[in-house]
């Protein structure tokens, strides 16, 4: 059984972190762009909980949650958003280009869908070296329309790569409802197009995500090849900064808030007697403190050295 | 006269063309209810409906290919690629299909691809590139990149009227700028002509898009220093208006080309090479290039700002060239 | 019922034409490259017989048969292979770049898979102008791995385009057997991934191809959207010039010759009493004569004017 | 010494590297039993098996992306793109991913992409292009394009040893050429150095790939006319070996650059611009470019031949430049 309390901590950390990011943008303290994942925490944390340290993840433009779930330092992550020298990419990457191979996190990615092919390459290395590593490649419902997804799933199936292509079906690609951008009811139905399992789970249910990923990872580790997993969730945040959310109603959002994953997991913790209200509040406070610390760290971080901007293009 | 932002000018030009020509339609990601990432098409869905303002799936190769077919079949597609960085996914369709249709088959392909280029918003290395160089050396594709309100209206009309594939480049930093616009829209300008943004005699500064805008500011600032810079807004990268460039270069004998993008392998190199070839004894000094170093665009605001040429660095380079003996 | 005799004529013409092309290459009388479609004639002719004059076809690198089936002039086609001024592309295109919009033939294409997106554009024009036109986009089993196929089918389904994406599953992509390059038993199974019909027919059976395409075209004309059709056939020719065919056995080929479509249709004509042996021989002779004429025409054609090579890049 | 074709030299170099480094593997369409479209990998499947000689589906974007991931994970993929024209489908993966990995993340990406470039075989506009210009202006990608047997061996080893993405360009017309090769293979040559193919004093001719080969022939033919041409085989397009080019240009004071590819927007423009910038008073005449006109490559043999620079047209242009007063 996965560690529910740890999962709860991580989900809270992600939620508080993303709220802070939105706040910092609103206050003009950070620049550029970011896509927050409020409402999708259970998927990120469910995946992370199901993987081994040797495993790898590739992420998307909406990747803070994936990264934090996998164990990123919130301070360095935020320092990257502040464009500082000790951010994960030394201020060179920003929200959509952050990576830490030492924890098996192979990058957020600003090119919708593109990282899935990269993930297949990580999986190919694992297979060719008879490694234990399984790779989870996150992508969105919108990204599922990208040709590179098709090319990669076909190739991964033929080569039996230990790859889980994981679609976070959060209802929208920017403003485009899934039904307008995806020609099939569930992205999981496309598994059949590649002769691989296509599975769909409630992405707001931490345990369901965990269990499904654990199963598919075990299968991949046995050499039985890739799978396509759809996690159904909802993006409660706007797409990115400045999204007026005119493409959906406030009622729909309120409804979705009823199903958001953190409250749900809290209920579960209470039911199982793992945490009472006081315990929950303690964890709440700890997450908030961790984020406050991260902001302080990021703001105190040095600016990048402008003299070296052009350096490091080649190894 | 009225004040409009660049984004409004593009929108109004598109709206006028949509009203005028029933064959015209728009395609792109989130151009409907959202109005596109930069709000350019905001409101058009309400007037023209979802048959003519078509939200596409995220499939740059597929929908550009589709637009090419529709253009050949007689439609007038205007495609939005959200960021120019994503045009990397449509290279095959544009280079191997669109660019060759007239040469090989004699077919018209009246296609416009609008896209948002450039740095300055801390969007990072995959959302900040100037990739006109990917297409600049490909025969069969026209490229325009306006820098002023009037030109956005004039060149967009010209691009839409053109029977060939045209890339229409919109710099992110230009979108919010306000321009005095006449009540009647400017006449169309076909791809292929540069604009003398500022007449002068001492040094020629050539730029396009945001760099032309900055160059114009640089030119104005140099007047205080008694240097009369001639600033040329290239506007059209393909075809190049070499006549205008050569006339200016022949007059000032000193040329500075400004490019947002890595120094090596850009458009400036071609212009420099052509000026040198065609004015063998006409220059006091070799053509100078001011560009970004050969590296990706980092996301941090501090680094990004340090990389991009701007009015001050352009003025300094132009002053140096103009006063060199 | 389709016109069997006309179909037989066209199939014979294609077969003789392709044999001539191989011969001309072997003799060094034409240069460059070409991909012949010996064994696949029933698919090309079945499609052409099912379409209306207003309809359109896009083709592939292996497109002579599609073009001839649609009514191309064999002389002008061959003149193009000879690089002559009155070839279909005035010597500028070659085998992989020939077009004749006046007969609804929108081009052979050297970029595997790419023309399917172009075909969707033709279909979009038809839909937006409420035209009657249906578009058939040929592609190969190998091409089915291309991302642009996925992107186009998704888009065509969402937009209900009158498009029939037609996979000529001829067993190989160059040297790659279908099972090595395609991760699903039948490409038609991928229709489900786009919520569109996926149909598979015997591509060597002229009538089956004709009937299926006629049905799917009628459906598309009614506004019911695209379909994915697999025509199972076999490439009896080598992939292109210089193919040693080491990737398959001569036995397999001999076996496939048993099922080749022209003999099959001849049998049918005999059975139905439409043609007797003498009649069949007459049509044979006519096809051979037509090809001989085409060769003569092509060889007598003028060379392109070298002074105008660089002209016509722009309209 | 033994005689080998270029295709054999590439094959043997690949085989030696495959034997030496267990991390190395090949990927590409039909590279197994078929040996690739040009037979370069023929026979390797038998020795190395299908785990290391991996036939890919027709998915240039997907398998290049996969190779990038494998390279980052510690493998040494050598990818074959059958014709350079198809590299248009991998632009996104190479430009937005591979090229930025070291700058942003400090990651090595030891990836080699081999591809067959160029015209001369009547393959038509989508199978004959020289598209190095698509990548030439993109920081983070190295490009090499050898022209001699020894260099194919030396530069391929150098490309494989390089920790960065390297495009390795093989001209179709070079594949069948035979070269005298020493029994022990040449030492690796890293990207970044040009080769003086022929020393001379009167005029510098710069080319790469097939054009370097033709330039060398042109240089030899000029000796009969008492013109000593210095012929430089560029070999490496990125990085450019400007030191060698400038030294030669400074010596001969007359430079001709030959490029197979449309004149506008090619690699020659950059070289011309840099030579002009860096030798302000060092040339007797502006750098000259000999290239193809700005049009696609037609398929007819007659037209294709008329378009491509060759030893005779190079010699004529060099003679004109060398004897100009
Ligand atoms: C190739 C490419 N095309 C378009 C975009 C712009 N874009 C960024 S995120 C996004 C929507 C992605 O939707 P989805 O995959 O569902 O992920 P979500 O945002 O819902 O997490 C779009 C269109 C991009 N970054 N890359
Ligand atoms: C983008 C691209 N990649 C690779 C090729 C090289 N190529 C030409 S035909 C072919 C095989 C195509 O197989 P299939 O689609 O099954 O068609 P078939 O040849 O069997 O008719 C390949 C790999 C190409 N022309 N374009
Ligand atoms: Mg989504
Ligand atoms: Mg096939």
Which tens digit of pLDDT belongs to each residue from C63-118? 999 999 999 999 999 999 999 999 999 999 999 999 999 999 999 999 999 999 99
Report, in angstroms and rounded to the nearest whole number, the Rg of chain C calculated over CA atoms. Answer: 19
In a domain? residue D157 = yes
Structure token digits, residue C190: 């991928």
In a domain? residue A94 = yes
Does the Cβ of D29 fall within 6 Å of ligand 2? yes
> What pLDDT was estimated at residue D118?
98
In a domain? residue A273 = yes
Q: Looking at CA atoms only, how far is residue D238 from chain B in angstroms?
A: 10
- D137 and D244 housed in the same domain: no
Could you tell me the pTM of the whole model? 0.98
How many Cβ contacts (< 8 angstroms) between chains C and D?
Answer: 123
In a domain? residue B189 = no
Question: Active site includes D60?
Answer: yes
Q: Residue C53 belongs to what domain range? A: 4-301
- D204 and D282 housed in the same domain: yes
Question: Model confidence over B93-135: pLDDT tens digits?
Answer: 999 999 999 999 999 999 999 999 999 999 999 999 999 999 9
Residues of chain A above pLDDT 90, percent: 99
Q: How far apart are the C-alpha atoms of B303 and A306, rounded to whole Å?
A: 6
The domain that holds A131 is classified in CATH as: 3.40.50.970
The reply to whether A158 touches chain C by the CB within 8 Å rule is: yes
Average pLDDT in chain C:
97
C258 backbone dihedrals φ, ψ, rounded to 5°: -60, -25
Interface chains of chain C (3 or more CB pairs under 8 Å): A, B, D
Comparing CA positions, the residue from A47, A98, A44, A42 lying closest to residue A74 is A98
Question: Contact A226/A116 with Cβ under 8 angstroms?
Answer: no
D236 backbone dihedrals φ, ψ, rounded to 5°: -115, 120
- B167 and B99 housed in the same domain: yes
The domain that holds D102 is classified in CATH as: 3.40.50.970
Strand B288-292 with B229-233, pairing: unpaired
- D170 and D265 housed in the same domain: no
Secondary element (H or E) of residue D307: helix D301-307
Ligand 1 centroid distance, CA of A110 (Å): 8
- B137 and B45 housed in the same domain: yes
Asked whether residue D220 carries a pLDDT value surpassing 80, the answer given is yes
User: DSSP readout, B246-303?
Assistant: HHHHHHHS-EEEEEEEESTTSHHHHHHHHHHHH-TT--SSPPEEEEE-SS---SSHHH
> What pLDDT was estimated at residue C213?
98
User: DSSP readout, B212-256?
Assistant: HHHHHHHHHHHHTTT--EEEEE--EEES--HHHHHHHHHHHS-EE
Comparing CA positions, the residue from C206, C145, C198 lying closest to residue C174 is C145
Ligand 2 centroid distance, CA of C173 (Å): 6
- B66 and B24 housed in the same domain: yes
* Active-site residue, from D17, D60, D214, D260: D60
The protein residues having their C-beta less than 5 angstroms from ligand 3 (an ion) are A 140-142, 170, 173
Ligand nearest to the CA of A61: 1
- How do the residues of chain C divide into helix, strand and coil, expressed in percent and rounded to 5? 50, 10, 40
Q: How far apart are the C-alpha atoms of A191 and B63, rounded to whole Å?
A: 24
- D15 and D159 housed in the same domain: yes
In a domain? residue A315 = no
- B118 and B259 housed in the same domain: no
Structure token digits, residue B88: 């990397």
> What pLDDT was estimated at residue D1?
65
In a domain? residue C307 = no
In a domain? residue D188 = no
Q: Looking at CA atoms only, how far is residue B301 from chain A in angstroms?
A: 7
Q: Looking at CA atoms only, how far is residue B95 from chain D in angstroms?
A: 8
The reply to whether B164 touches chain C by the CB within 8 Å rule is: yes
State the CB neighbour count (10 A cutoff) for residue A101. 14
Secondary element (H or E) of residue B178: strand B178-181
In a domain? residue A253 = yes
Contact C83 D85 (CB under 8 A): no
- Shortest CA distance from A240: residue in chain B: B37
Ligand nearest to the CA of A174: 1
The reply to whether A84 touches chain C by the CB within 8 Å rule is: no
Average pLDDT in chain A:
97
The reply to whether B65 touches chain A by the CB within 8 Å rule is: no
The protein residues having their C-beta less than 5 angstroms from ligand 4 (an ion) are C 140-142, 170, 173
Q: How far apart are the C-alpha atoms of B57 and A144, rounded to whole Å?
A: 9
Asked whether residue A305 carries a pLDDT value surpassing 70, the answer given is yes
Nearest residue (CA) to ligand 1, atom 20: A173
Contacts of C147 in chain D (CB under 8 A): 59, 61-62
> What pLDDT was estimated at residue B110?
98
The reply to whether D86 touches chain C by the CB within 8 Å rule is: yes
Question: Active site includes D127?
Answer: yes
The number of folded domains in chain D is 2
Contact D57 A154 (CB under 8 A): yes
Q: How far apart are the C-alpha atoms of A151 and B5, rounded to whole Å?
A: 42
Q: Looking at CA atoms only, how far is residue D162 from chain A in angstroms?
A: 8
Contacts of A147 in chain D (CB under 8 A): 61
Q: How far apart are the C-alpha atoms of B33 and B45, rounded to whole Å?
A: 7
In a domain? residue A257 = yes
Q: Looking at CA atoms only, how far is residue A2 from chain B in angstroms?
A: 36
Ligand 3 centroid distance, CA of A141 (Å): 5
> What pLDDT was estimated at residue A241?
85
Contacts of D100 in chain B (CB under 8 A): 125-126, 296
Ligand nearest to the CA of A43: 1
Asked whether residue C56 carries a pLDDT value surpassing 70, the answer given is yes
The number of folded domains in chain C is 1
- B203 and B88 housed in the same domain: no
Nearest residue (CA) to ligand 1, atom 5: A112
Contacts of C120 in chain B (CB under 8 A): 62, 65-66, 69
Does the Cβ of C182 fall within 6 Å of ligand 2? no
Maximal C-alpha separation, chain C: 57
Contact B59 C315 (CB under 8 A): no
Q: How far apart are the C-alpha atoms of D108 and B266, rounded to whole Å?
A: 26
- D117 and D251 housed in the same domain: no
In a domain? residue B187 = no
Question: Model confidence over D273-311: pLDDT tens digits?
Answer: 999 999 988 899 999 999 999 999 999 999 999 999 999
Estimate the crossing angle of helix C261-271 against helix C277-300, to 10 degrees.
140
Does the Cβ of A238 fall within 6 Å of ligand 1? no
Nearest to A303 among B29, B294, B302 (CB): B302
Question: Model confidence over A70-85: pLDDT tens digits?
Answer: 999 999 999 999 999 9
Q: Which of A63, A112, A151 to mutate to test the interface with D (most CBs of D within 10 A)?
A: A151
Residue finishing a domain among B129, B156, B181: B181
Nearest to B62 among A96, A147, A313 (CB): A147
Asked whether residue D270 carries a pLDDT value surpassing 80, the answer given is yes
> What pLDDT was estimated at residue C141?
98
> What pLDDT was estimated at residue B1?
65
The reply to whether B71 touches chain C by the CB within 8 Å rule is: yes
CA C291 to chain centre: 18
| Closest atom, ligand 2, to C-alpha of D86 | 1
Q: Which of D81, D262, D286, D288 to mutate to test the interface with B (most CBs of B within 10 A)?
A: D286
> What pLDDT was estimated at residue C242?
82
Q: Residue D311 belongs to what domain range? A: 195-322
- B165 and B244 housed in the same domain: no
Q: Which of B90, B100, B136, B137 to mutate to test the interface with D (most CBs of D within 10 A)?
A: B137
- D147 and D201 housed in the same domain: no
Beta bridge partners of D76: D24
Q: What is the pLDDT along chain B (325 residues), one digit of tens a residue?
A: 689 999 999 999 999 999 999 999 999 999 999 999 999 999 999 999 999 999 999 999 999 999 999 999 999 999 999 999 999 999 999 999 999 999 999 999 999 999 999 999 999 999 999 999 999 999 999 999 999 999 999 999 999 999 999 999 999 999 999 999 998 989 999 999 999 999 999 999 999 999 999 999 999 999 999 999 999 999 999 999 999 999 999 999 999 999 999 999 999 999 999 999 999 888 999 999 999 999 999 999 999 999 999 999 999 999 999 999 9
In a domain? residue C313 = no
In a domain? residue C58 = yes
- Shortest CA distance from C97: residue in chain B: B104
């Amino acid at each position: 059984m996965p560690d529910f309390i740890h999962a709860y901590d991580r989900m809270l950390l992600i939620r508080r972190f993303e709220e802070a990011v939105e706040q910092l943008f609103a206050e003009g303290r950070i620049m550029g762009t970011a896509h927050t994942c409020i409402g999708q925490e259970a998927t990120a944390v469910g995946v992370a909980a199901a993987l081994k340290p040797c495993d790898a993840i590739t992420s998307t433009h909406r990747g803070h949650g994936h990264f934090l779930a996998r164990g990123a330092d919130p301070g360095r992550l935020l320092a990257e958003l502040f464009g500082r020298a000790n951010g994960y990419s030394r201020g060179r990457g920003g929200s959509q280009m952050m990576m830490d191979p030492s924890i098996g996190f192979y990058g957020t990615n600003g090119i919708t869908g593109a990282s899935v092919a990269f993930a297949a390459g990580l999986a190919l290395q694992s297979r060719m070296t008879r490694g234990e590593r399984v790779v989870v490649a996150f992508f969105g419902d919108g990204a599922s329309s990208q040709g590179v997804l098709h090319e990669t799933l076909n190739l991964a199936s033929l080569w039996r790569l230990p790859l889980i292509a994981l679609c976070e079906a959060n209802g929208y690609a920017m403003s485009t409802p899934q039904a307008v951008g995806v020609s099939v009811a569930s992205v999981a139905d496309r598994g059949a197009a590649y002769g691989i399992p296509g599975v769909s789970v409630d992405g707001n249910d931490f345990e369901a995500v965990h269990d499904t990923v654990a199963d598919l990872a075990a299968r991949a580790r046995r050499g039985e090849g890739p799978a396509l997993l759809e996690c159904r969730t909802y993006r409660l945040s706007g797409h990115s900064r400045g999204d007026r959310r005119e493409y959906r109603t406030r009622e729909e959002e309120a409804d979705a808030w009823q199903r958001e994953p953190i409250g749900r997991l809290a209920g579960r913790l209470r039911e199982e007697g793992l945490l009472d209200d006081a315990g929950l509040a303690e964890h709440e406070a700890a997450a908030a403190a961790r984020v406050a610390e991260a902001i302080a760290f990021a703001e105190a971080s040095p600016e990048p050295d402008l003299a070296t901007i052009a350096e490091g293009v080649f190894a | 006269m009225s004040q409009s932002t660049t984004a409004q000018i593009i929108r109004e030009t598109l709206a006028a063309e949509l009203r005028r020509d029933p064959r015209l339609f728009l395609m792109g990601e989130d151009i409907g209810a959202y109005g596109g990432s930069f709000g350019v098409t905001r409101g058009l869905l309400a007037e023209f409906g979802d048959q003519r303002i078509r939200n596409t799936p995220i499939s740059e190769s597929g929908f550009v290919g589709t637009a090419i077919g529709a253009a050949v079949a007689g439609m007038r597609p205007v495609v939005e690629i959200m960021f120019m960085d994503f045009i990397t996914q449509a290279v095959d369709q544009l280079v191997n299909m669109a660019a060759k249709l007239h040469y090989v088959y004699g077919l018209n392909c009246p296609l416009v691809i609008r896209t948002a280029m450039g740095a300055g918003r801390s969007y990072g290395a995959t959302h900040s590139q100037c990739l006109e160089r990917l297409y600049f050396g490909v025969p069969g594709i026209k490229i325009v990149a306006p820098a002023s309100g009037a030109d956005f209206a004039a060149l967009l009309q010209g691009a839409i009227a053109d029977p060939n594939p045209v890339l229409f480049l919109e710099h992110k930093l230009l979108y919010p700028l306000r321009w005095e616009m006449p009540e009647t829209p400017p006449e169309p300008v076909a791809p292929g002509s540069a604009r003398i943004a500022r007449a002068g005699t001492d040094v020629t500064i050539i730029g396009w898009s945001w760099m032309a805008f900055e160059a114009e500011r640089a030119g104005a600032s140099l007047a205080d220093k008694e240097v009369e810079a001639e600033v040329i807004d290239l506007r059209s990268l393909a075809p190049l208006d070499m006549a205008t460039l050569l006339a200016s270069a022949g007059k000032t004998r000193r040329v500075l080309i400004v490019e947002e993008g890595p120094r090596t392998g850009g458009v400036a190199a071609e212009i420099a090479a052509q000026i040198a070839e065609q004015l063998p004894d006409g220059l006091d000094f070799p053509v100078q290039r001011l560009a970004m170093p050969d590296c990706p665009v980092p996301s941090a605001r501090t680094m990004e700002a340090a990389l991009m040429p701007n009015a001050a660095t352009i003025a300094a380079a132009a002053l140096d060239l103009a006063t060199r003996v």
